[in-house]
Structure 1
Amino acid sequence: MSNSGDKTPPHVALLPSSGMGHLTPFLRLAATLAGRGVTVTLITICPTVSAAESHHLSQFLSSLPQIHPLEFQIQPLDPTTTTSNDPFFLHFEAISRSAHLLTPLLSSSSFSALVTDISLASAFSPIASNLNLPNHILFTSSASMLAFCAYFSTQFSTITTTTTTATINLPDVFDIPGLPPLPKSSIPPPLLDPAHLFTTQFIKNGLAVLKSTSIIINTFDEFEPYSLTTMNEGKLDSGMPQVFAIGPLDQCEFEKGTPLSWLDLHPDESVVYVSFGSRTALSEEQIKELGVGLEKSGCRFLWVVKSKVVDREEEVEELERIIGEGFIGRNKEKGLVVMDWVDQGKILGHKSVGGFVSHCGWNSMTEAAWYGVPVLAWPQAGDQRINAGVVGRGGLGIWMEKWGWKGEEKGVVKGEEIGEIVRKFMGNLDLKVGAKRVREGARKAVESGGSSDKGLREVVEMWKRG
């Protein structure tokens, strides 16, 4: 099913998963590949979990008519057959269980390769193999998280997941080649439970990654040199396929909206941007304390408040009730609070923004790196503590490790402490210098002849050869 001859551009099918954190890098990769002459088919999962995904897909396909959509209607999932109530984990599972339905769709065209989301790797690798189709994995997090994923999956692949009473005897510290010692407290909490749906998916997908044709990742050599080198030299696992760093992937044109005019009113690097991503909802108590902290910091701020995990859930709370009565009025001169979707790239690229309080979702971190905005890392779940470690080691920012994350017993971080840390963070000149250095590395990586440019060229040439 592969193309032959140098004159025929490779035709690649991209299979994203659910959630904006997974969809966004696929859309950016699709646009990047199309710009390099690759014929791209984007497999669109129907239905999506969130309205944001549907909206972005529609905008993307309208703005790039050269990219071919291929609708993949998945079967509904009986939630009683799983061990999770997380809407995204359930959607991963629904897509995976519908894998057999993709075979006729892929057979309808001559593809050079399939690029599959990491969360779907184990289910769709056999489909690609049966069609003699090279299967490449797009890993939607950091290289450090990829190293952990491969290591954990091979070390704990024999974990039984058939009982809800079993526990995993994990070491207090993981010694993973290419990473500093990784404490157990930094790994995604569901991995402590062998019966958790996420654990099952994580291990199966990690093992499938090792059998893939190659791994594509949205990072760059200058930001994560040790993890990338360790994996590509076979020091992590001798069977590890080649890892191609191709980032930071640029925003699509439709994402590049008009920046908030409010930002124009403030001095350079004076505004702290606060956002915890598309699916991280803080507790109402923590939201109120965060508001107290921003007010006490004395800093100008742009704060994106999210109180629901999925944006299709009806927003019945009034903004004032969530963040505290009178907050908006008291801070109208120096603060802006929004609940709508914002153009994060435009915000981070605005000259008035001088800091980013973030959960450390990987798309957010690559955007911060691209614009050279220092990060105050406050990870909440999943891969975010490992990503926060990358932020600290890479010189992009600092991680408040003692603040804990969602669901831990450390409790709510009080506003007084948040305010003090934010004030010091925004005044830290060394952090600003470090972040600008990361920005220079990011720009250099994607320039012609840069490390990420070379990585992407190698991938496209591989597809051309068939």
Structure 2
Amino acid sequence: MEREKQESFKVLMFPWLAHGHVFPFLELAKRLSTTHYFTLYLCSTTVNLDSIKSSISSDDAAAASVKLVELQIPSPPELPPHLHTTKNLPSHLITTLIKTFQESSSSFSDIIDSLKPDLVIFDVLQPFAPKVASSKGIPSVYFSTSGSMPASYLHHLYTVGSGATFPFPAISLPDDELPRRLALLAQYMKDADDDFAYGALTRSTDIVLSKSSRHVEEKYADYLSALSKKQIVCTGPLIAADVNRHEDIEIMKWLNGKTLDSTIYISFGSECFLSKKQIEEIAKGLQLCDVNFLWVIRFPAEEVSGMSIRMIEEELPAGFLETVKERGLVVTRWAPQTKILGHPSIGGFVSHCGRSSITESMYFGVPVIAMPMNVDQPMNAQLMVELGVGVVVEKDHENGVYVGEEVAKAINKVMVEKNALYEGLRSRARRLSETMREKEDEEVNEVAQQLLKICAKNKK
């Protein structure tokens, strides 16, 4: 092991272009940079790299050991460079971005030739990446940013053909829903294998990384390992600290004026955009329950340039902002989510249950009021219920949408009704938070050791 003490191994990190993927890759790179074993290179588009520069510069260890590498992808007229990211991307351009991303394989190959990395850590939507790496004698490891539970369920569905026999009945989806969507994506991807997750697990060298805490998802990680014949190594929660911004002052000052556990935070992430009807129903729910709230409403990039408070008033029910002004704050810009969830006034999180959001809610001990929208979010909501740290807003049985009365009912369960459910949610959420924090350094150290073994073995 003498080499490891004398020389850093180069690791090229290559996430998909979504912020929910870029930031876990970045945070893992920052954690690995605290060792003397690795120099990390994070490869993405210019617009994504610009969004993370402040996060790296604020961390001395990361600034020294994490380098940013620009990926060149084409810019068709409908997808200019500022849209080379899923953040605020209009939904009709998602498949265009995926297809265009596949055309970056030659740029990625040139980057490997230039850097000569010892290891590539890749994401699911670029099956060309491990093939390019392998052709150059470089090992690669798949990093699942969606965690162990969704991957184990989908792998079971792929292997068996039905979710009915999944060994953990708390998790279920209609058998044709996600496989159909995943099959549609496959047609847009370069070098996708006819295998689970386009061959990502099969092509991963020795291990698969999973953005999860083993304490939270141990049974799912073990089952995924049995299905994939790969060791599943949990990275821990990988919570990034929000960089201080002047724009945060108003939000944090407002929260400082609220009492302990009195306020709900409402956010559906940077890629889930609510219809006018859905905004109106959530607003109706907030009017029906007497709790403080901080609501972040996002719009696609094409609508942001003309954003004004008048537009928000048009989206919300007439007079809503005036009615709730003493107990509610509506924000249309980016908001510091980890700062908000870590604030003592926050007692509940109305969330679409994206992976990063549920991880942050667990890490900060905040119960979730789940309103899953699509893809793997319903499974994430089911996990929160199974863990006893969340409730799900029921949809209207006739038209399958969320309605104000059910939003209010779920919020009241978490925030108002002082019963066994209320106390149990909070105590379980806090215990879960404590355990995740206790184990996170240990989990990252295990990741480092496993990656070190792969690099060292390939050099022999």
Correspondence 1:150-189 to 2 at 5 A: 150-154=155-159, 171=162, 173-177=163-167, 179-180=168-169, 182-185=171-174, 189=177
Q: Distance in 1 between matches of 2:411 and 2:332?
A: 21
**Corresponding position of 1:434:** 428
**Corresponding position of 1:23:** 22
**Corresponding position of 1:419:** 408
- Checking the alignment, whether the CA contact within 8 Å between 2:264 and 2:350 is kept in structure 1 is yes
- Checking the alignment, whether the CA contact within 8 Å between 2:14 and 2:121 is kept in structure 1 is yes
**Which one-letter code corresponds to 1:59 in the other structure?**
S
Deviation at 1:456, TM superposition (A): 4.0
- Checking the alignment, whether the CA contact within 8 Å between 1:114 and 1:136 is kept in structure 2 is yes
- Checking the alignment, whether the CA contact within 8 Å between 2:148 and 2:224 is kept in structure 1 is no
Q: Distance in 1 between matches of 2:102 and 2:154?
A: 19
Q: Deviations over 1:170-192 (max 9, x none)?
A: 64x44235x327544387x4633
Greater Cα offset, 249-258 or 124-133: 249-258
Q: Distance in 1 between matches of 2:224 and 2:21?
A: 22
**Corresponding position of 2:107:** 101
Structure 1 residues 184, 248: closer, same or farther in 2, change over 3 A?
A: closer
Structure 1 residues 465, 365: closer, same or farther in 2, change over 3 A?
A: same
Q: Deviations over 1:142-201 (max 9, x none)?
A: 21111134344556xxxxxxxxxxxxxx64x44235x327544387x4633686236765
- Checking the alignment, whether the CA contact within 8 Å between 1:6 and 1:464 is kept in structure 2 is no
**Which one-letter code corresponds to 2:114 in the other structure?**
S
Residue 266 in structure 1 maps to residue 266 in structure 2: no
Greater Cα offset, 292-301 or 247-256: 247-256
**Corresponding position of 2:130:** 125
Deviation at 1:30, TM superposition (A): 1.7
**Which one-letter code corresponds to 1:322 in the other structure?**
E
- Checking the alignment, whether the CA contact within 8 Å between 1:174 and 1:184 is kept in structure 2 is no
**Corresponding position of 1:333:** 326
Q: Distance in 1 between matches of 2:452 and 2:183?
A: 39
**Which one-letter code corresponds to 1:212 in the other structure?**
S
Q: Distance in 2 between matches of 1:102 and 1:330?
A: 53
Q: Distance in 2 between matches of 1:452 and 1:35?
A: 10
Q: Deviations over 1:245-290 (max 9, x none)?
A: 0111131463786662100001101101111111101110110110
**Which one-letter code corresponds to 2:317 in the other structure?**
G
Deviation at 1:94, TM superposition (A): 1.6
Q: TM-score, normalised by structure 1?
A: 0.83
Alignment equivalent of 1:138, drawn from 133, 138, 143? 143
2:259 is paired with a residue whose SS is coil
Q: Deviations over 1:3-37 (max 9, x none)?
A: 95432122111111112111121121121111223
2:63 is paired with a residue whose SS is coil
Structure 1 residues 325, 276: closer, same or farther in 2, change over 3 A?
A: same
Alignment equivalent of 1:397, drawn from 390, 399, 403? 390
Deviation at 1:227, TM superposition (A): 0.6
Q: Distance in 1 between matches of 2:51 and 2:24?
A: 12
Alignment equivalent of 2:354, drawn from 346, 354, 361? 361
Q: Deviations over 1:70-120 (max 9, x none)?
A: 11111246989xxx9743333232222321321121111231211112222
Residue 148 in structure 1 maps to residue 138 in structure 2: no
**Corresponding position of 2:52:** 57
Greater Cα offset, 297-306 or 18-27: 18-27
Q: Deviations over 1:115-136 (max 9, x none)?
A: 112222x121110101111111
Query: Cα RMSD between the aligned structures?
Result: 3.0
**Corresponding position of 1:247:** 236
Structure 1 residues 420, 193: closer, same or farther in 2, change over 3 A?
A: closer
- Checking the alignment, whether the CA contact within 8 Å between 1:279 and 1:309 is kept in structure 2 is no
Q: Which has the higher helix share?
A: 2
**Corresponding position of 1:159:** none
- Checking the alignment, whether the CA contact within 8 Å between 1:190 and 1:199 is kept in structure 2 is no
Structure 1 residues 321, 434: closer, same or farther in 2, change over 3 A?
A: same
Structure 1 residues 418, 277: closer, same or farther in 2, change over 3 A?
A: same
Greater Cα offset, 412-421 or 56-65: 56-65
Residue 222 in structure 1 maps to residue 212 in structure 2: no
**Corresponding position of 1:445:** 439
Structure 1 residues 79, 184: closer, same or farther in 2, change over 3 A?
A: farther
1:87 is paired with a residue whose SS is helix
- Checking the alignment, whether the CA contact within 8 Å between 1:100 and 1:127 is kept in structure 2 is no
Aligned length: 428
Q: Distance in 1 between matches of 2:244 and 2:354?
A: 18
Deviation at 1:356, TM superposition (A): 0.4
**Which one-letter code corresponds to 1:285 in the other structure?**
K
Q: TM-score, normalised by structure 2?
A: 0.84
**Which one-letter code corresponds to 2:184 in the other structure?**
H
Q: Distance in 2 between matches of 1:97 and 1:396?
A: 42
- Checking the alignment, whether the CA contact within 8 Å between 2:260 and 2:345 is kept in structure 1 is yes
Deviation at 1:454, TM superposition (A): 2.9
Structure 1 residues 111, 397: closer, same or farther in 2, change over 3 A?
A: same
Q: Deviations over 1:382-409 (max 9, x none)?
A: 1111111221222321223x327xxx97
**Corresponding position of 1:164:** none
Q: Distance in 2 between matches of 1:104 and 1:221?
A: 36
2:233 is paired with a residue whose SS is strand
Deviation at 1:207, TM superposition (A): 2.3
**Corresponding position of 1:196:** 184
Q: Distance in 2 between matches of 1:298 and 1:288?
A: 17
Structure 1 residues 341, 464: closer, same or farther in 2, change over 3 A?
A: farther
Q: Deviations over 1:317-373 (max 9, x none)?
A: 611111123211211111111011000000000000010010111111111111110
**Corresponding position of 1:33:** 32
Structure 1's unaligned 5+ residue stretches are: 156-169
Name the % identity.
Answer: 26
Structure 2's unaligned 5+ residue stretches are: 80-89, 417-421
Structure 1 residues 9, 193: closer, same or farther in 2, change over 3 A?
A: closer
